[in-house]
Amino acid sequence: MGCGVSKSNQFHKHSRKAAVLIQRWYRQYVARTEMRRRYTWHIFQSIEYSGEQAQIKVRSYCFSMRSVCYAVFSHQTELENRVYLAGNLISHIFRENDVCWDTEWERYFCYKNIEVPEVYSGPHLTFPLTVEQAVGLLEAFRNKKQLHSRYVLELLLETWKLLRLLPNINRISTCQSKEVTICGDLHGQLEDLLLIFYKNGTPSLEKPYLFNGDFVDRGKDSIEILLILFSFMLVYPCDVYLNRGNHEDHIINLRYGFTKEVLTKYKIHGKRILKLLQKIFSWLPLASVIDQKVLVLHGGISDSTDLGVLAKANRHNVRNTHARILSKSTDSVSSDTTKDEWRQILDVLWSDPMNQDGCMPNEVRGGGCYWGPDITEDFLNRNNMQLIIRSHECKQEGYEFCHNRKVLTLFSASNYYDVGSNRGAYVKLGPDLVPYVIQYQASSMTRELTARQSVGRTERSALKVLREQLFAHKSDLLCAFKKFDSKNTGLVSLNDWASAVESVMHLNLPWRTLRCQLVACKTADGTIDYCDWFNELHIDQSLLETLYRHRSTLETIFRIVDTDNSGFISMEDFRQTWKLLSVYLKMEITDEDICNLAVTIDSNQDGSIDIDEFMEAFRLTDKKSRLERGRSMFMGTASDLTKLEDDPSV
């Protein structure tokens, strides 16, 4: 009997040890998974914000060039001449040509001469819209049908007329409906909007909605989301509210996909649709106030945010939120809108909260500011409010409280970076003004993945994007490595490798932690062979390095120069574009080189260059010497380019 007790005690002792080991292993597993999830998230967010910085740099550069062009009167040097020509081009592109009255614009946007063919099987609209038509439009888009351009223009024109009657700041009350549903960024992801309506119901008198900006860009169904929201707003003008986001800006749309989407889906009338949307975006309200206590806006506030100033600002004059502010020229500020109003609108659309007190410029995004808990406290006290709801930032859980739960960030586009990367969320706000958050993920694939599989998939996607970014900066990275490699051995220590990479990329990532994922070519003494490292980045489709780095900028500049959104630019516009681009990239290029390049790119020899020809010209692959090929493309003559075609390595 004593022996049995001894064995029992021994068994329990081993069981406890096993339990402790299992707990320890599980905690380490959870910690490693969380670490991977966090750095994956950091990679995506850092690269996203660096892209926004690049967009703002292009825009500020263009407008500074416009200012320089007015200041340069003597053109004695080639550089001054290039600057002057570039400035003239920018002045032509961004000229203020909207000087006609609204009635004249309504005639320009007239849809009555557009016929709907009998074979058209999509939804038909009559105005004023009915609830049944709005729901029918929703179902048509669910079934991948497209609304005819006649109805698109008619719906947008009615929306424009309604928005011109609305104040800068919506006033919403919960006393009638008992509850208001608030949605954050959707970014063209129709699947998320459909899921929200499925879970929460479509807008109605009993179920008002507030959509907090960034309806478009990045996703593939931006125009469908706009048409759905506008149709319900026309049916329920007192129960569906829209705030403007920083992506409701036609210059931002040039880079992030919305312009291209509209021109692809509506090839004939896309230009008119885009022009009308440009005017609609400028008339969207800037913020909403619920029960006088909750402020809802897209970005945030600053230490100078004044609701009184925002309420009186001429918001429709702010078509491009960054352009006017970043330009130094006095002509860039409308006589009807003060610079303080421009700055306040910029802060409302672009700002982000931070943990520490104070207010500082938002250099990560390139616009707006960072504001701290003290700024929130002061703003709420001054305005007798209790909560700020904003969007603008993707959050892994779809929402996040900060500043002592007085600021709520809400993001409604699930799987934003990749499938499984984040949840979406919306908020229901009742008379007690306590936010009730509902989370979701729209993709059925996420429900089929385990947590480990989801993290692994997202991690692989993030690392792929990061490797492409690293490759795009190969030349700069090599220079940075050589500063640490004084003896030219081709080797650097792990610390020096991490320092060099951060000095070039400026992504604020944990490079030492990421080394295992990015570097396999370590030597026996732990140093890194940085030359071999570039060969191991495993880029799926290697593009010309210089142009690969600036491919988004190239397409943006093309679409900026293509002022009528025709998809074509003339040879003269192409020549001036390259003058502009050569100044931006600090590269020397002669008129003869530009002419030869234009002839080579114009593959169908029709005397103009379309976007496909423009971008396809820069899709050369060469694993041996991409940088030299890049110089050849910029500087080479037509004969040089012909030689490249015969090169078997290209």
pLDDT tens digits, 454-481:
667 777 777 887 887 787 778 888 889 9
Give, for 106, the enclosing helix (H) or strand (E): helix 102-108
Phi-psi region of 528 (alpha: psi -120 to 50; beta: other; left: phi over 0): beta
Give residue-wise pLDDT tens across range 548-570.
Answer: 555 666 667 676 667 666 667 77
* Dist CA 147 CA 226 (whole Å): 12
239 and 284 housed in the same domain = yes
DSSP state of 116: P
**Tokens read off for 248:** 């409701």
| C-alpha–C-alpha distance, residues 351 and 343, integer Å | 11
Q: How confident is the model at residue 73 (pLDDT cuts 50, 70, 90)?
A: very low
Please tell me whether residues 488 and 416 are part of one structural domain: no
- 128 prior amide bond cis, ω within 30: yes
Q: If pLDDT is split at 50, 70 and 90, which confidence band does 425 have?
A: very high
pLDDT in tens, 279-320: 999 999 999 999 999 999 999 999 999 999 999 998 888 766
Q: Which structure tokens are listed for 521?
A: 């070519």
How would you label 546-582 residue by residue, b for 16+ Cβ within 10 Å and e otherwise?
A: bbbbbbebbbbbbbbbbeebebbbeeebbbbbbbbbb
Domain termination residue (choose one: 476, 505, 537): 537
Residue with tokens 């060039």: 65
23 within some domain: no
Question: What is the pTM for the complete model shown?
Answer: 0.75
Cα separation of 288 and 166, whole Å?
Answer: 11
| Residue 645, burial from CB neighbour count under 10 angstroms (0-12, 13-18, 19+) | exposed
CA pair distance 274, 263, nearest whole angstrom = 8
Residue 345 lies inside a defined structural domain of this protein = yes
Residues 411 and 476 in one domain: no
Are residues 475 and 527 located together in one domain of the fold?
yes
pLDDT of residue 432: 92
Could you report the per-residue pLDDT of 253-288, keeping only the tens digit for each? 888 889 989 999 999 899 899 999 999 999 999 999
Residue 207 lies in a domain: yes
User: How far lies 121's CA from each of 144, 245, 270, in Å?
Assistant: 12, 33, 20
Give me the percent of the chain exceeding a pLDDT of 70. Answer: 69
Residue 519 placed within a domain: yes
Same domain as 264, residue 115: yes
Compare 446 and 400 and report the one with higher pLDDT. Answer: 400
Q: 323 and 59 in contact (C-beta within 8 Å)?
A: yes
Residues 429, 516: one domain? no
Helix axes 270-283, 149-163, angle to 10 degrees: 20
Choice among 247, 269, 298, 322 that is catalytic: 247
Residue 625 reports pLDDT greater than 90 = no
In a domain, 297, yes or no: yes
- Distance in angstroms (rounded) separating the CA atoms of residues 146 and 141: 7
Contact 167, 160 (CB under 8 A): no
| CA 151/CA 153 separation, integer angstroms | 5
Instruction: State the average pLDDT over residues 20-39.
Output: 74
Q: Out of 385, 407, 440, pick the residue that ends a domain.
A: 440
Any idea what the CATH number is for the domain that residue 512 is in? 1.10.238.10
Q: Say if CB 156 and CB 276 are below 8 A apart.
A: yes
Mean pLDDT taken over the chain? 78
Task: Identify whether residues 432 and 358 lie together within a single domain.
Answer: yes
Nearest to 318 by CA among 303, 301, 333, 300: 333
Are 399 and 465 in the same domain? Answer: no
Question: Is residue 446, in this structure, part of any structural domain at all?
Answer: no
**Is position 30 within any domain?**
no
Q: Are residues 409 and 312 in the same domain?
A: yes
Number of structural domains found in the chain: 3
Reply yes or no on whether the pLDDT at 546 is more than 50.
no
Give the model's pLDDT for residue 582.
Answer: 66
pLDDT range class, residue 107, cuts 50, 70, 90: confident
Task: Please tell me the distance from the alpha carbon of residue 195 to that of residue 433, in angstroms, as a whole number.
Answer: 24
One domain for residues 381 and 504: no
Buried-exposed string 431-453: b where 16+ CB fall within 10 A, e elsewhere = eeeebeeeebbbbeebeebeeee
Confidence of residue 195 (pLDDT cuts 50, 70, 90): very high
Confidence of residue 207 (pLDDT cuts 50, 70, 90): very high
d(CA 52, CA 54): 5
566, two tokens? 């025709």
Q: State the Cα–Cα distance between residues 36 and 453, nearest whole angstrom.
A: 12
Q: Does one domain contain both 431 and 511?
A: no
Residue 158 half-sphere exposure, CB side, CA atoms within 13 Å?
Answer: 20
pLDDT surpassing 90 at residue 30: no
What's the domain range around 468? 457-537
Domain membership of residue 258 (yes or no) is: yes
- Our measurement of the distance from residue 120's CA atom to the centroid of its chain's CA atoms, rounded to an integer in Å, reads 34
Return d(Cα 34, Cα 531) in angstroms, integer.
32
Ranges 34-48, 66-80, 499-513, most confident: 499-513
Residue 550, SS3? coil
Residue of 175, 171, 179, 172 lying closest to 429 (CA atoms):
179
What long-range pairs does 631-640 form, CB within 8 A, spacing at least 24? 631/546, 633/544, 633/547, 633/597, 634/546, 634/582, 634/587, 634/589, 634/593, 635/588, 635/589, 635/593, 636/593, 636/596, 636/597, 637/592, 637/593, 637/596, 638/596, 638/597, 638/599, 638/600
Among all chains, which residue has been given the structure tokens 């899709």?
Answer: 619
Percent of residues, the chain, with pLDDT higher than 90? 40
Told to judge if 148 belongs to the known catalytic residues of this protein, a careful annotator would answer no
Q: Based on the domain organization, do 486 and 572 belong to the same domain? A: no
Helix H segments across 178-221? 190-200
- From residue 445, alpha-carbon distances to 196, 426, 527 in Å are 18, 21, 41
Q: How far apart are CA 418 and CA 394, in angstroms?
A: 12
